[in-house]
Amino acid sequence: MLRPAVLALLTAVLAVAQPNKPAFDVASIRPSPPGEGGRDWGPPSTEATPGNLVIRNTRLADSIRWAYNVQTYQLVGPAWMNDARFDILAKAASPAPESELRLMLQTLLADRFKLALHQETRDMPVLLLTVNKNGHKLQETTTEGSPPFKTGKMNLTGAGASIAQMTEFLSRELRTPILDQTGLTGKYNYFLDIGSFVSDEIRRNMPRDGPPLEGPGIISQAMQEQLGLKLNSAKAPIAVLVIDRIEKEPTEN
């Protein structure tokens, strides 16, 4: 079950060792203006179009994660990376897909922040996604919607979505690896709404910089009742990136 995540991370790490990695033609990195706030829970504010990358008011740690396409729990480094925010504006010499923009950002971070890292495997808490003993309630389909997977306020909608799309999103939001052990390989329609499982007290005390402590339990209860799936706590080896060196301030533009 770990194979897709491990292969993706190994691909990113192998890219570090390539001598002629792609690079942006022009790039600017500046500290984000104070007082702009910014989202502390979820993916960074990143706009990637062919040949252009715009990252605004985003934690340096999140920019690194985007560059290497890893989750929050897969990056190990100094705590200050979660406080330092930067605006990154970069343009390639010619149109380039998002996968190449990620490699270009790796090059930029290594050049401007002197970023150096390595990959290793660590045992850590995980959530195992399985099917209830009475079977799942997902509707299998061969038709994919546009988009096939979308999020709302405390809900998820699958319209020909894979289980991988669901687990990737929940892993990021819960900041915990979710390993798919359902054996479900098709595309599915479903609607998961956790709103009714979140009490007023939990809403009042919900932290700004991460999921509530009750998050896994709430989502597990909703999934069991609505989707016929469940989450169980366990431990498993997970591939992570460990930062060996990084400067607090980038070199001049």
Domain ranges of the chain: 3-121+239-245, 123-238
Mean pLDDT confidence for 151-162: 92
Per-residue pLDDT for 39 more than 50?
Answer: no
pTM over 0.85: no
Alpha-carbon separation of residue 205 from 38, 42, 173, 202 (angstroms): 19, 18, 17, 5
Would you place residue 113 in the very low, low, confident or very high pLDDT band (cuts 50, 70, 90)? very high
Q: What strands lie across the sheet with 187-193, from one edge to the other? A: 139-141, 187-193, 155-161, 149-152
Determine the pLDDT at residue 216. 82
Alpha-carbon separation of residue 57 from 39, 46, 83, 224 (angstroms): 9, 10, 11, 37
Determine the pLDDT at residue 49. 87
Task: Return the structure tokens found at 232.
Answer: 């169980």
Ramachandran area for residue 114 (φ above 0: left; ψ -120 to 50: alpha; else beta)? left
Task: Return the structure tokens found at 95.
Answer: 């149109």
Mean pLDDT confidence for 120-130: 96
- Cβ-proximal residues to 154 (8 Å cutoff; 6+ apart), any chain: 193, 194, 195, 198
Other beta carbons within 10 angstroms of residue 144's beta carbon come to: 13
Alpha-carbon separation of residue 173 from 103, 137, 167, 178 (angstroms): 24, 23, 10, 11
What amino acid is encoded at 196 in this protein?
S
Determine the pLDDT at residue 42. 44
Task: Give the distance, in angstroms, between the CA of residue 192 and the centroid of all CA atoms in the same chain.
Answer: 20
Phi, psi of 139 (to 5 degrees): -100, 110
